[in-house]
Structure 1
Amino acid sequence: MFRALRHPPFRKLWALVILGQLGYWFSTIAFQWEVAHRTSNDPLALGLLYFCSLAPFLLFSLPAGMFADSRDRRRLIILVQVAATALAVTATLLAALAATSLPALMGLSFLAGCVATVLSPTSYALIANVVPMEDMASAVPLQSAGVNLARITGPALVGPVLIVGGSVSAFGAYAALSVAAVTLAARLAPSVRPAVPAPVESLWQRVTAGVSHARQRRPTMPALAVVATTSLFGSSYMAQLPLIGSRVSDNGETAFLTLVTLGGIGSLAGVLSVAWRGRRLGVASAAAQLAALGVVVGLIGVTQSFPLLTVLMILGGGLSFSIMTSVNSIVQHVVDDAQRGRVMSLYFICWGGLLPLGGLGLGSLVRLVDVGWAFACSGFLAVLSGLGIALRVRRSASHEAED
């Protein structure tokens, strides 16, 4: 499970990703905190914030993946972390001057999403340059585990910071973490395998080449379909956590931070379960987990019990990130390194790119009906999608075995 950590370049990359993700969670929770306060937990405003923070994955993932294939990945990560530092300093100054209006919060959230959009495919593509191929089955889940370790510790750390020092302190911590990430990125020197130089191609050629490569390398396309439907119907409930926390507790702010942390604990458990399984991963299994996640989402929308909600949050986080990490590992094993960045960008479009649409759709539905019916509808679609994909994948495997 931990053999990838034997390689010093991977250890540096792993620490760099954790620092970047800690900063991202500090900013994300601070943005949600501010919007929830300013709008009294309005579900549409929370959904709009979720849309702004993740829309860059939909808009810019493909160009980011192409940059990861055609540029020095180490230098690209350094530039991204420098941009994160500038963004964090700006957010800190605006918060200190009490100039963080609702449009400003949405805009800053969008820019933070742009930083994450470039960092995500680049850091995952860089894995192939810092560990040998036989250790990829360890490196990919470990990197995802690092992301989820930050997802647990980030909210746990930012909660007291927000309560004591407000958003100014949270954004200041984001700046400090970004500076630390820049320093570590400058010391990163891939040493196992250099990146394969990408041919000179137009933007359209790069896009079509990535899609064509994904279609040729089975089971990439059905795996990406699992990620897409998980983002649209399975994981979008995370945009409404401030509202869910206020429904089950008189202290909605503390409940919100607790729910985020519990989701992170479940996510880490889900990622480690993928690392423990190693290469015993399959698309049908991930699709079945999506169906189970749909049941959990439906229950989250109707429960009024905080103890039961804690269990559901752990299950939801575990299933979500077990699905994402399984698919990530499956895709990483079947693609060529020269196409890795752009194929991973397709993965992040299906994940982060569709999450804002799911979050905005769920928020709008909550406004139209109520939380219970909205979550039940989203959960039902997740169950239906998961079972449909699992059945199709198994039928395809059966036909190939007969041939």
Structure 2
Amino acid sequence: MSTLKSSGGSFAPLAQPVFAVLWAATVLGNTGSFMRDVASSWLMTDLSASPAAVALVQAAGTLPIFLLAIPAGVLTDILDRRRFLIAVQILLASVSVSLMILANTGMLSVSALIGLTFLGGIGAALMGPTWQAIVPELVKREDVKSAVALNSLGINIARSIGPAAGGLLLAAFGAGVTYGADVASYLVVIAALVWWPRAKNANDALAEGFFGAFRAGLRYTRASRPLHVVLLRAAIFFAFASAIWALLPLVARQLLGGDAGFYGILLGAVGAGAIGGALIMPKLRERFNADGLLLGAAVITALVMAALSLSPPKSVAIIVLLFLGGAWITALTTLNGAAQAVLPNWVRGRGLAVYLTVFNGAMTAGSLGWGAVGEAAGVPGALLIGAVGLIVAGFVMHRLKLPAGDADMVPSNHWPEPLVAEPVAHDRGPVLILIEYLVEKHHRAAFLHALDEMSHERRRDGAYGWGVTEDSADPQKIVEWFMVESWAEHLRQHKRVSNADADLQAHLLAYHSGTDKPVVRHFLTINRPRAA
């Protein structure tokens, strides 16, 4: 059976028509975006030769993602994702139309270029979590990981085509035509999204509002220790690796003496290397775990930065950037896959938004920082400093292992409905939940350790306060308590508990010595009338 048709194969998602159409449209749309970015970066070198100004274009594109990714993730989880994506594509097309008009009329200035790049970054911030969150809707469950990898491959196919095509269009026809090609690519993406036969969201009495969903997403992020590891590893890697992206236009122009077309070829080499890296990724995963892959990506990226600082011949620069592309897709897919693996579906958009916030925050801060270092130490000096820092950080962070991501995050639905004397208004709260256990003395230490693990689950799924108490008259009676902000949020909590959480709860209940299950009580806040 071919790889395309076999369920779970690397290219199996492409056998599913909806994913295939949207994937192809996305590749085309990203190709246009890379063409636009090449034109903007190169035009900035015409408008200003300052390393800080050139790096500011990169920062203007990534800063909005840092600022808005989390709100975008909330919108991803509560809005119709298809309509939301269409609206964002219209916004991005409008940005490119504005750039095209200004370029054709000769009115494009430094401030206008940075401002419109920032606006395009807002569109990217709104779009990023949504594109990633729709993957489970488009493919079978067993093909999700392959679909995520194919999305990364698609981005790098676009990276290999877009920059080179953009550089050639820019050199031959000017920025106006290059921006116009980007506008056309957005029209194709919009058409694919309009065609997508997505079922309408069913009415849900427990649907979250924006601010409630925002708070729930932040609570999950604060309580998820596996996600913390992924975020820290990503922040350190991208903060150092951003040096190459912030300074590459100046590397092409000043160190290598190239023109706009050559800059596009360099970026195309990165994309081509990423495609090669994606194709050999299954073999690499057989030999190395996630931590080994990330360390290898850091070392290769650092060596590329060091090689470029020596102003090598153009042919050598193209070759080393092929290796950069392979290292870059290895890091991206490793970290993104680790983040996806520790997130349940109900908070996937928000969790991925936090990941994107960290990623783009590191890239933004890195771009600004490396631009300043380039001003002080020169472009070669900044690249060498970044290379040394990346290698040191890579080996230090290698000791902090990425989560395996093998927990079953599918909802278990094993919690019984809470008992109520009469219907409870969804907005009533806060709610206090008490769970009474009977634990024999010789099991106490192990029980409390398991209960501590359970506390993270409570907080991830909606609790904002948690604690444990004992009965002063009978220390074997231990009461776990936690609070949620409303009755509706507690009902959502019932639906969020995963199979992995159910296993954790079963382990905890093994220490309960009572003949019946632990007693669970729910207490609602009483709104007392004010005194006259």
TM-score by length of 2: 0.69
- What residue is the counterpart of 1:401 in the other structure? none
Q: Within 1, Cα distance between the matches of 2:331 and 2:112?
A: 34
- What residue is the counterpart of 1:400 in the other structure? none
SS in 2 for 1:393: coil
Trace 1:144-159 onto structure 2 (pairs within 5 A). Answer: 144-159=152-167
**Structure 1 contact 226–290 (Cα < 8 Å) conserved:** no
SS in 1 for 2:106: coil
Q: Within 2, Cα distance between the matches of 1:20 and 1:275?
A: 27
- What residue is the counterpart of 1:224 in the other structure? 231
Deviation string, structure 1 residues 250-284 (Cα, Å, up to 9, x no partner): 43333312211111112222333445667987442
- What residue is the counterpart of 1:5 in the other structure? 14
Q: Which shifted more, 101-110 or 248-257?
A: 248-257
- What residue is the counterpart of 2:26 in the other structure? 17
Residue segments in structure 2 that go unaligned for 5+ positions in a row: 1-9, 406-532
**Structure 1 contact 301–376 (Cα < 8 Å) conserved:** yes
Amino acid at match of 1:242: P
218, 242, 247: which is aligned to 2:249?
A: 242
Pair 372,159 (structure 1): closer, same or farther in 2 beyond 3 Å: closer
Deviation string, structure 1 residues 289-348 (Cα, Å, up to 9, x no partner): 343123332332234333332232112221122111111122222211110001111121
Pair 271,349 (structure 1): closer, same or farther in 2 beyond 3 Å: farther
Amino acid at match of 1:376: L
Pair 90,394 (structure 1): closer, same or farther in 2 beyond 3 Å: closer
- What residue is the counterpart of 2:220 in the other structure? 213
71, 75, 85: which is aligned to 1:77?
A: 85
**Count of residues in correspondence between the two structures:** 394
Q: Within 1, Cα distance between the matches of 2:187 and 2:251?
A: 34
Pair 356,64 (structure 1): closer, same or farther in 2 beyond 3 Å: same
- What residue is the counterpart of 2:359 in the other structure? 351
Compute the displacement of 1:228 (Å). 1.5
**Structure 2 contact 39–167 (Cα < 8 Å) conserved:** no
Trace 1:254-265 onto structure 2 (pairs within 5 A). Answer: 254-265=261-272
Larger-Rg structure: 2
Compute the displacement of 1:248 (Å). 4.3
Deviation string, structure 1 residues 32-56 (Cα, Å, up to 9, x no partner): 121111224x211111111111111
Q: Is 1:375 aligned to residue 383 of structure 2?
A: yes
**Structure 2 contact 171–260 (Cα < 8 Å) conserved:** no
Pair 327,201 (structure 1): closer, same or farther in 2 beyond 3 Å: same
285, 289, 294: which is aligned to 2:296?
A: 289
Q: Within 2, Cα distance between the matches of 1:4 and 1:276?
A: 19
Amino acid at match of 1:231: F
Amino acid at match of 2:164: A
Q: Is 1:34 aligned to residue 43 of structure 2?
A: yes
Q: Within 1, Cα distance between the matches of 2:350 and 2:12?
A: 27
Trace 1:153-168 onto structure 2 (pairs within 5 A). Answer: 153-168=161-176
Q: Within 1, Cα distance between the matches of 2:305 and 2:324?
A: 7
Q: Which structure has the highest strand share of the two?
A: 2
Q: Within 2, Cα distance between the matches of 1:137 and 1:325?
A: 10
Q: Is 1:365 aligned to residue 373 of structure 2?
A: yes
Trace 1:27-106 onto structure 2 (pairs within 5 A). Answer: 27-40=36-49, 42-106=50-114
Task: Tell which has more relative contact order, 1 or 2 (C-alpha 8 A, sep 6+).
Answer: 1
Q: Within 1, Cα distance between the matches of 2:303 and 2:342?
A: 31
Pair 125,278 (structure 1): closer, same or farther in 2 beyond 3 Å: farther
SS in 1 for 2:134: helix
Q: Within 2, Cα distance between the matches of 1:18 and 1:336?
A: 27
Compute the displacement of 1:162 (Å). 0.8
Pair 119,278 (structure 1): closer, same or farther in 2 beyond 3 Å: farther
**Structure 2 contact 167–263 (Cα < 8 Å) conserved:** no
Q: Within 1, Cα distance between the matches of 2:402 and 2:82?
A: 40
Q: Is 1:340 aligned to residue 352 of structure 2?
A: no
Amino acid at match of 1:166: G
**Structure 1 contact 213–335 (Cα < 8 Å) conserved:** no
Q: Within 1, Cα distance between the matches of 2:194 and 2:231?
A: 33
Pair 276,186 (structure 1): closer, same or farther in 2 beyond 3 Å: farther
184, 195, 200: which is aligned to 2:192?
A: 184
Identity of aligned residues (%): 26
Q: Within 2, Cα distance between the matches of 1:395 and 1:124?
A: 20
Amino acid at match of 1:238: W
Q: Within 1, Cα distance between the matches of 2:180 and 2:172?
A: 13
**Structure 2 contact 230–402 (Cα < 8 Å) conserved:** no
